[in-house]
Homo-oligomer: A and B are copies of this chain.
């Protein structure tokens, strides 16, 4: 598929991001076909993700780096299809190079704390004057105006503030921290939507703009897709544990060898559940035939399903329910989920390449989960070593000669 044009072919993105949220935004832009130039601070050894355990290399997966050719799995994943150049933006020479790059680029993405780009002299206003067409995207914890307290927004902080932690579990349970860093992952999706919208508008107006996305705002906006507090007022509580009584039969159930999920909120699905359980006559029982009554007898209904399930395997239970048309599925471990052949065949998850050792044994990473009929997407090019493309970018994009590059090195700018 690589010879088909990609949606962002021809666009150049300057990537001033580190950690997860920003790099995931630019990873998607790279997957969509943009040329992404990752600009890393040589003083700090580049993106902090380069120093996240575990590492992968000649000896497979290890908790510690043991060789020059080991690369952190985080970087293998988030660095795909990107070029890397070093640039110390605190030196005047380094900043000057960035301004030159920004004058030629289509998009810049940064995820510094609020205020840092001003201090470095590379904020939107400055770059917009140099290149009015530039789309400048900022992803931060609370937005460009800054946030409360330390202003530091780790994913867990945003999960707490957004209400997300109190949407799972049972009443009275501690808050439930979600292992998926959902704030870190959702903000970049809105960041990409913002970048694409601004690029599209720029094709019409000739003008770029600032795109400002907050992790708190992104996740809270998803929470606000249902007014949960209003629902609670009329008896539709959020935290109902393994089952959802108001949709009964609905929930997760334990079998001999694992858990499965079952969703039977309609009369038709509920009747299917009764057939699967071998008690088709209960579909017409007044306790279970209509939704209001099922809600009233939800405990009884769920206990009946739990009793049936405990003697089966997950595979048997799901098959019997599916045969009766009831939505049901195994609760899978993340490792099994990312190896789903359907998901792999659609490129929604992709095997991870290592720059020296090729496709890593049994390591998978996110793909672009969009299938275009006329374009390709993929994230199949290995992540770069720190500064691997410094010379290529300076010479190729800016026309610098060897001496100029040597002078920059001497000045500590690279």
Contact = CB atoms under 8 A, between A and B. Distances in A.
B327 A153 contact: yes
A198 to B, nearest CB: 6
A331 interface: yes
A371 B144 contact: yes
A259 B174 contact: yes
Contact of A160 (B156, B250, B261, B366): B261
Given A54-B230, A73-B230, A225-B20, A213 B337 contact: no
A375 B198 contact: yes
A238 interface: yes
B186 A260 contact: no
Nearest to A128: B373
A248 interface: no
Contacts of A157: 261, 263, 327-329
Contacts of A216: 340, 342-343, 348
Interface string A220-245: 11111111111111111011011010
Given A153-B327, A186-B189, A203 B201 contact: no
Interface stretch (A95-103, A318-326, A404-412): A318-326
A177 interface: yes
Interface stretch (A35-43, A165-173, A380-388): A165-173
Question: Which one of A163, A198, A218, A349 has the greatest number of beta carbons of chain B within 10 Å?
Answer: A163
Chain A, interface SS category: mixed
Nearest to A201: B7
A177 B210 CA distance: 37
A68 interface: no
Interface string A190-219: 111110111111010101011111101110
A63 interface: yes
Contacts of A285: none
A32 interface: yes
Given A198-B7, A222-B180, A343-B220, A149 B227 contact: no
Nearest to A191: B370
A355 interface: no
A84 B315 CA distance: 43
Interface residues of A, number: 142
Given A157-B261, A194-B372, A214-B348, 16 more contacts: A54-B230, A148-B342, A149-B318, A150-B325, A154-B263, A157-B327, A160-B332, A165-B331, A166-B333, A194-B370, A201-B374, A209-B374, A210-B373, A212-B373, A220-B349, A221-B348
Interface of A: 5, 7-8, 20, 24, 28, 32, 53-54, 61-63, 73-74, 77, 124, 142-144, 147-150, 152-154, 156-157, 159-169, 174-182, 185-186, 189-194, 196-201, 203, 205, 207, 209-214, 216-218, 220-236, 238-239, 241-242, 244, 250-252, 254, 259-261, 263, 318, 321-322, 325-338, 340, 342-343, 346, 348-349, 352, 362-375
28 contacts: A53-B234, A54-B231, A54-B234, A144-B371, A149-B329, A153-B327, A157-B263, A157-B328, A160-B252, A163-B338, A165-B331, A167-B334, A175-B259, A175-B261, A177-B244, A178-B178, A191-B370, A192-B193, A193-B193, A194-B372, A205-B374, A209-B375, A212-B371, A213-B371, A216-B342, A222-B366, A224-B349, A224-B365
The 8 closest A-B pairs by CB, nearest first: A167-B179, A229-B335, A217-B348, A163-B334, A163-B337, A7-B197, A149-B322, A210-B373
